A and B are shown apart, each in its own frame.
Chain A
Amino acid sequence: MRQILELLERDAQLSHDTLATMTGIPVAEVSAAIAAWESSGAIRRYKAVVDWDAVDGDSTAETVTAFIDVSLAPARGVGFDDVAERIARFPEVRSVYLVSGSQDLRCTVEGRTIRAVSDFVSQKLSTIDRVRATATHFVLKTYKRDGDSFATPEADHRLPVTP
């Protein structure tokens, strides 16, 4: 059954029939398992992996991404959790991790423009109580994201018919 999740993680568009053929699990069981995962939240949702740089002629499609390191003053009883959860609620924030090292949180923030991201950091993020400092790193180019390479795929160099 784990195989089905791994396959869907790579390609969510595989039909239940194809998944059944690939795994040798009866299609009814495949459908039931997927329905169960969807309702339990094991499968949160399905989405496309978009390379915005490859979307031609649509300047509004561009997004600016920044990694923001945040250092915090911890509070008795809650540690960093309350602030981290508060930061995570902003829709601009794509990810929040508590990390080891000199900083405490590493966040990913997305916006339409550099200005929008800067405004978010200076007006929203740094003004939260117990945020001591932030360091913003704008992404210049994405090479790989979540296991998906954004480089030009390697060409198939094979001859059309070989022994």
Chain B
Amino acid sequence: MRPLNPVIAACPPSGIRRFFDIAAEMDDVISLGVGEPDFVTPWRIREAGIYALEHGYTTYTSNAGLPRLRELICDDLATRYGATYDPREECLITTGVSEGLDLVLRVLLEPGDEVIVPEPCYVAYEPCVGFAGGTPVRVPTRWEDDFAIDADVVAAAITPRTKAILIGSPANPTGAVQPRAALDALVRLAREHDLYLVSDEIYDRLTYDGAHTCLGTLAPERTVLLGGFSKAHAMTGWRVGWICAPQAVAELCVRVHQYTMLCAPHVSQLAAVEALSGPDDDVDAMVADYDRRRRVFVKGLREIGLDCPEPGGAFYAFPSIRSSGLDSETFAERLLHAESVAVVPGNVFGPSGEGHIRCSYATALPQLEEALVRIARFLNAG
């Protein structure tokens, strides 16, 4: 047979997959490996989805998505962050941030363009850059700096082919929130070198030590903002997110989207309308709950001897496991076999994640406490 696309063939399968396969075979596993809320979608939103089905909203919507939903998203960004996006021309609804990321990279990149990707980062960033014909250029961040992006390190990686910087804050897997100064420095760099900023802000509502800074307010002319409903509203399976971007970028995103996806699911869009129409109590209650678990879990990790940077957002802790003398993969694999606790080895998120494990605290408190007991026993046995 003729060879397949070499870029895709050369892309390794996600390192997470292997742990999923092992964990799925085992009983009594406490999983700290889950990258989604343990809450189900709040009932009022589910009920709106059921209503939409009952009343036959099973058709396509316009390519860019329901006008009402786009208005609500832009209003929400305006109220929350002071961002100014035109719902008609600068906003489109995607099937989650995952599609949004793919769309925007395809729109921004010409073959061979480079995208600077600070890591450790979400597993899809580098592959999606590659699939869009670009070259990801990794830039390390260090846990000693709370994974803050160092603009000097980014500057050193800029070449004439650099087109964009891709960041996620609050971050999966580190839980790090980029400090305002780091974002300001990135904006200066981007303006100096005329780069786009692709900002994955899917965890924007999940911050615990201060308000979130929306990059779309700092550099609206060059920021492509990616967001969605999965995390804040516990709607991962509905697959609904959005892109807000300068009109020229948004227009081309719609163009790709209309031919590849056509539109996001109608029922999901109507559920998302409900998510943004109703009171915010559900989100506040979930965030408060994550925060309490975060405090208990991070303190517990430190008490059993694992250094853990303070995660300011998302629902992940990213403790260092260097004191064990094991690399991340070995640690995670042995922990799973010895104590049936599933975590994700940090190196799957980039080389700077080596020496760490990602632990999701989107898990009931008694499970977190039991996991801490088991990890402590594992560390002592080692």
Q: Are B295 and A161 interface neighbours, CB within 8 A?
A: no
- Distance between Cα atoms of A23 and B172 in the complex (Å): 24
Instruction: Write the nearest CB–CB distance from B203 to chain A, whole angstroms.
Output: 13
Q: For window 131-163 of chain A, which residues contact chain B by CB distance below 8 Å?
A: 154, 156, 158-163
Q: For window 5-35 of chain A, which residues contact chain B by CB distance below 8 Å?
A: 7, 18, 21-24
Q: For window 26-69 of chain A, which residues contact chain B by CB distance below 8 Å?
A: none
* B residues whose Cβ falls under 8 Å from a Cβ of A: 14, 16, 19-20, 23-24, 29, 31, 33-36, 38, 40, 122-124, 172, 291-292, 295-296, 299, 342, 344
- Distance between Cα atoms of A97 and B292 in the complex (Å): 36
- Distance between Cα atoms of A163 and B292 in the complex (Å): 23
Q: Are A21 and B20 interface neighbours, CB within 8 A?
A: no
Q: Are B40 and A161 interface neighbours, CB within 8 A?
A: no
Instruction: Write the nearest CB–CB distance from B316 to chain A, whole angstroms.
Output: 11
Chain B residues near A163: list those with CB within 8 A: 14, 16, 35, 122-124, 172
Q: Are A160 and B342 interface neighbours, CB within 8 A?
A: yes
Q: Are B296 and A21 interface neighbours, CB within 8 A?
A: yes
- Distance between Cα atoms of A21 and B14 in the complex (Å): 35
Q: Are A162 and B16 interface neighbours, CB within 8 A?
A: yes
- Distance between Cα atoms of A7 and B19 in the complex (Å): 35
Chain A residues near B23: list those with CB within 8 A: 160-161
- Distance between Cα atoms of A58 and B20 in the complex (Å): 42
- Distance between Cα atoms of A161 and B20 in the complex (Å): 5
* A residues whose Cβ falls under 8 Å from a Cβ of B: 7, 18, 21-24, 154, 156, 158-163
**How many A-B residue pairs lie within 8 Å, measured between CB atoms?**
50
Q: List 23 A-B contacts (CB under 8 A).
A: A18-B296, A21-B299, A22-B292, A24-B295, A154-B40, A156-B38, A158-B34, A159-B24, A159-B34, A160-B24, A160-B31, A160-B33, A161-B16, A161-B19, A161-B33, A161-B34, A161-B342, A162-B34, A162-B36, A163-B14, A163-B35, A163-B122, A163-B124
Chain A residues near B295: list those with CB within 8 A: 21-22, 24
**B24 (CB) vs chain A CBs: closest residue:** A160
Known: A161-B16, A163-B124. A22 touches B33 (CB 8 A): no
- The secondary structure that dominates the A interface is loop
Instruction: Write the nearest CB–CB distance from A74 to chain B, whole angstroms.
Output: 39
Beyond known contacts A21-B299, A160-B23, A161-B344: 17 more, CB 8 A cutoff: A22-B291, A22-B292, A23-B292, A156-B38, A158-B34, A158-B38, A160-B20, A161-B31, A161-B33, A162-B16, A162-B34, A162-B36, A163-B14, A163-B16, A163-B122, A163-B124, A163-B172
- Distance between Cα atoms of A160 and B362 in the complex (Å): 12
- Distance between Cα atoms of A162 and B40 in the complex (Å): 16
**A18 (CB) vs chain B CBs: closest residue:** B296
Chain A residues near B123: list those with CB within 8 A: 163
- Distance between Cα atoms of A5 and B24 in the complex (Å): 39
Chain B residues near A7: list those with CB within 8 A: 292
**A24 (CB) vs chain B CBs: closest residue:** B295
- Distance between Cα atoms of A161 and B14 in the complex (Å): 11
- Distance between Cα atoms of A154 and B364 in the complex (Å): 14
Chain A residues near B33: list those with CB within 8 A: 160-162
- Distance between Cα atoms of A18 and B295 in the complex (Å): 9
Chain A residues near B35: list those with CB within 8 A: 162-163
- Distance between Cα atoms of A156 and B234 in the complex (Å): 13
Q: Are B299 and A160 interface neighbours, CB within 8 A?
A: no
Instruction: Write the nearest CB–CB distance from A76 to chain B, whole angstroms.
Output: 44
Instruction: Write the nearest CB–CB distance from A100 to chain B, whole angstroms.
Output: 26
Q: Which 5 A-B pairs have the closest CB atoms?
A: A161-B33, A22-B292, A161-B20, A160-B23, A160-B31
- Within 8 Å by CB of B296, from A22, A158, A159, A161, lies A22
Q: Are B38 and A162 interface neighbours, CB within 8 A?
A: no
**B349 (CB) vs chain A CBs: closest residue:** A163
Chain A residues near B31: list those with CB within 8 A: 158, 160-161
Chain A residues near B14: list those with CB within 8 A: 163
Chain A residues near B291: list those with CB within 8 A: 22
- Distance between Cα atoms of A18 and B29 in the complex (Å): 24
**B360 (CB) vs chain A CBs: closest residue:** A162
Chain A residues near B24: list those with CB within 8 A: 159-160
- Distance between Cα atoms of A158 and B299 in the complex (Å): 26
**B33 (CB) vs chain A CBs: closest residue:** A161
- Within 8 Å by CB of B20, from A23, A156, A162, lies A162
- Distance between Cα atoms of A163 and B36 in the complex (Å): 8
Chain A residues near B20: list those with CB within 8 A: 159-162
Instruction: Write the nearest CB–CB distance from A20 to chain B, whole angstroms.
Output: 9
- Distance between Cα atoms of A159 and B17 in the complex (Å): 11
Chain A residues near B40: list those with CB within 8 A: 154
Instruction: Write the nearest CB–CB distance from B274 to chain A, whole angstroms.
Output: 19
